[in-house]
Structures are given as structure tokens and as C-alpha cells.
Structure 1
Amino acid sequence: MDTLDGDELSRRIARELGDALAAPTIRPGCSGHHMEFPGTITLPPETLMDVIRSYCRSLDAHGFEYIVLVPTHGGNFGPVKTVAPDIARELESTVIALADLDEHMQLLNEGLSEAGIEYDQDVIHAGAAETAMVLAIDEGLVRVENIEPGPEGEISTARLLSEGFKSITENGVLGDPTRATSDAGNVIIQNVVETYVEHINTERDAV
């Protein structure tokens, strides 16, 4: 989901900006909190930050004026926010990190609301919003007959990250993915794109 989201957001953001290119999404990421679910592959934060540095150094060497970091996996927002200032001090390129996890989840919830789905999830993972986004990107990837909801209501992000998702959700889902529609997914994605483009333009105007 997070890689699909990263690819789609970066493509749409680049298209909206008109003078940008979308680089390949970095994967895997920091997913230690999912390791109780078999098949999970995770990186230490330091490794991810080194990979981001290498990406940015490469793009800087090719003369890009701006490098925008767009994390889409919850575990990656912290490392991106941590490493971005160091990279910015090192490179000629201006580095813009769109790494506010709370804002990102708020934008997803707002997109659902704008699409007419009154559903709000404190912590977003595999529920209505993310399932809607995958339906919008590639409907064939969602096995709708297997969809099942997970815990709803107030959920501690700190507990999820320290104790792991399995401490709260047996199936890895938070919220109710049955509420998802592809139309809502498109609204959500466009909501994030428009907000991020606005952030990027604001940062560019300030330079």
C-alpha cells in the first residue's frame, strides 16, 4: 500500500508542479512494529536515513534544484524528519520534507469526508482511507471478499510503535475497510496532492 501510495502521490505532485520528476519510491522501510506479522521486512532507521542521503546526493549531483521527500509509511516519517535537515546542510539542492504524520492522516480523513464518507480513524492503517486509495490506484489488488474490520476508536500511536501492531490488532487492520470506495480514494489522493503542492510552492517561494 505505502509504495503504491508513494508512487501515485509523487507522479501526481510532479504533474501538478509541471517542472518536476518523480523518483523511484524507496523500499523497504522501518517496519519493526509489524514484525509479528510473517513476511514483514524492515530496516533500522539509520539504514533508511543512509539510503535517503544517497538518493539525495545523487539527485544533487545531477543538478536538481529541489528535492522533495514524501514519506507514506508511518514508520518512515520520523527518520525522514530527522535526516532532512542534515541533508539540507550538506547539499546545494533545497530539501523539502513533507514529513508530518499527523497532517498526513488528517488529510486522509478529510478526503473521506469530502467524498461523503463520514468516518474518522485516529490512527490509519489498512482501514477505510487506505483501502479506498488502493481501490483508486488499482482496484484489482483489493480482495474485497476477504475484507474484515479491525479495532476502532482511540488508539495509542506510542503503544503501536513500542509494543507492535499485534498488541492492538490481530489482523493488522485498524478501522473499517468495508467503507472504502475507489471514488473516495481518488478524492483522498487529490486532497493530499493539492496540499503537498501548496507546501512545496510555499517553500520554493521562501527560498
Structure 2
Amino acid sequence: ASIEQHGPHLPTGTDTIIGYALGQAVAKKMGNALVAPVIRPALSRHHIDFPGTITLRMKTFVKVLEEYCQSLRHHGFKNVVLFVSHGGNSDALNAFIPSIAKKVAPDIRLLVVYPLEKNVKSLQELLAERGITRQRAGVHAGFSETSVMLTLRPDLVAMDKARPGLIDEEFYQPENIERSKISSFIHGVKSQSENGVLGDPTGSSAELGKLIFERKVNDIVEEIKNNLTA
């Protein structure tokens, strides 16, 4: 997860709140799983220009992941699933999880669930059906994330402070999104959005947030069943 700014309308614990709620919902749906404490803080250097953000160095974050998995191995767990509720952690997981997996094998089977292309497309279609564009949905504190928070913790959402951030259509096009992400990491989010929002949270909907959340839960459960229960 992370401890980082999410615009003026969402708390710094947004990724943690969503990540833990996803874990609880997935475990309940699986029926035979436990939810470990959320790993936070993490990699948020690109948000450090905003107050409240706490970040780790890459090697610190990777070491935390390794020690975490080693601890779970010590306690006898056989299958461990990691999933991302903060996009800034994805590349590190992709790069270092194979080496961590080797260190805990064969005692633990380690699965990392990433947002698959088919699942991202599915969510985009869900939003498009309701007239929500990619740039409005956003990738950080925009319509999608704010809607999910309105479902989970409406008491922590200040919709009266919600304002559009970066809503440049070109930034969110599929062919540009990787380049846009790299730009965020190199130059910082503040260079792209003065209020730290990548998207437009105005008009966010708890009802739609529930649908988004449920879709994510189902996607994670599907990946676990396809990869760990065989």
C-alpha cells in the first residue's frame, strides 16, 4: 500500500484502506484464507512534494517484502498472495519478487496479482457504459478511487474539497500511459498536477464505487484460483 497524498479530498491512508478492504473481501470469498497486515509505507517518492507523504527507498521496501515472506514461512504458511493497492509498487514487485520467491521456496508458493490487461479493460468498459471517460476516472484520487472510498469510508472523504487535477486526455490514452507513469516517477506528480489529483473526482459515486470494488475482488479471486488452487 502507501502513505501518500491523495489530493485535498482523500486521506493519506487511501491505498491502505482500499488494500485492506480488498484483502478482507477476497479472503471471505475464498473461504479458506487469512488477511495479513498491510505493508505500508512503500514507494511514494513521486508524491514527496506533498505534505503527509512517507516513502521508503527501493532496497528498504524490497527487504521488508522479503522479511515479511520469511516470517510467514516461519509460521507455516504455504501459499502467500501479494497484490497491489498502490501503482507505484508494481514495478518493484515485478522486478524483485522472483528472487524473493526463490528464497522462500519450496516452503511457500508466492503469487503476485497485478491488474491484468483484461481486468483493466473490463473496468474501463464498466465506467464507459456510465459515461465516465479515462481522464475523469483517472489513476490517482480521480473519479474511480474516490468512488471506492465513498463506498468504504465516506466519513473520510471531503467531497466539498474535490477538484479536478490532471485531465489531459492524451495522458490517459493506453498507448501513452506507460510514458505518463515514467514521467510521474522522474519529475514527480506535482509537476503534472498542482493539487496531486490525476483525474477528476467531482461527482464521484458510492454506488459506482461498489461496482468497481466488487469487480476488483472478483478479478483477484479469479487469479488466485487459476494459479494457486490447482
TM-score (norm 1): 0.91
Q: How many residues align?
A: 205
User: Shift in Å at residue 150 of structure 1?
Assistant: 0.9
Q: 2:217 pairs with 189, 193, 198, which one?
A: 193
Instruction: Give the conservation status (yes or no) of the 8 Å contact 1:112–1:119.
Output: yes
User: Shift in Å at residue 185 of structure 1?
Assistant: 1.0
User: Shift in Å at residue 102 of structure 1?
Assistant: 6.2
Is 1:147 equivalent to 2:162 in the alignment?
A: yes
What is the match of residue 56 of structure 2?
Answer: 43
| Structure 1 residues without counterparts, runs of 5 or longer | none
Instruction: Give the conservation status (yes or no) of the 8 Å contact 1:6–1:25.
Output: yes
Spell out the pairing of 1:93-132 with structure 2 (5 A cutoff): 93-100=108-115, 106=121, 108-113=123-128, 116-121=130-135, 124-132=139-147
Write the distance in 2 (CA, Å) between the matches of 1:157 and 1:106. Answer: 18
Q: Deviations over 1:149-180 (max 9, x none)?
A: 11212221111111000111000011110131
Write the distance in 2 (CA, Å) between the matches of 1:179 and 1:106. Answer: 22
Spell out the pairing of 1:81-92 with structure 2 (5 A cutoff): 81-91=94-104, 92=107
User: Shift in Å at residue 87 of structure 1?
Assistant: 1.8
Task: Say which SS state the counterpart of residue 177 (structure 1) adopts.
Answer: coil
What is the match of residue 5 of structure 2?
Answer: none
Q: Deviations over 1:81-129 (max 9, x none)?
A: 2221112112111000113486775565345346x35332385000000
**Higher mean C-alpha displacement, 117-126 vs 190-199:** 117-126
TM-score (norm 2): 0.82
**Letter of the 1:200 counterpart:** I
Task: Say which SS state the counterpart of residue 140 (structure 1) adopts.
Answer: helix
Is 1:2 equivalent to 2:15 in the alignment?
A: yes
Q: Are the structure 2 counterparts of residues 47 and 138 from structure 1 closer, same or farther at C-alpha, using a change threshold of 3 Å? A: same
Identity of aligned residues (%): 38
Is 1:138 equivalent to 2:153 in the alignment?
A: yes
Q: Deviations over 1:128-147 (max 9, x none)?
A: 00000110101111111111
Task: Say which SS state the counterpart of residue 55 (structure 1) adopts.
Answer: helix
Q: Are the structure 2 counterparts of residues 189 and 106 from structure 1 closer, same or farther at C-alpha, using a change threshold of 3 Å? A: same
Write the distance in 2 (CA, Å) between the matches of 1:144 and 1:179. Answer: 8
Q: Are the structure 2 counterparts of residues 102 and 170 from structure 1 closer, same or farther at C-alpha, using a change threshold of 3 Å? A: farther
What is the match of residue 162 of structure 1?
Answer: 186
Q: Are the structure 2 counterparts of residues 103 and 131 from structure 1 closer, same or farther at C-alpha, using a change threshold of 3 Å? A: farther
Instruction: Give the conservation status (yes or no) of the 8 Å contact 2:41–2:55.
Output: yes
Write the distance in 1 (CA, Å) between the matches of 2:184 and 2:117. Answer: 15
Q: Are the structure 2 counterparts of residues 5 and 31 from structure 1 closer, same or farther at C-alpha, using a change threshold of 3 Å? A: same
**Letter of the 2:37 counterpart:** P
What is the match of residue 11 of structure 1?
Answer: 24
What is the match of residue 172 of structure 1?
Answer: 196
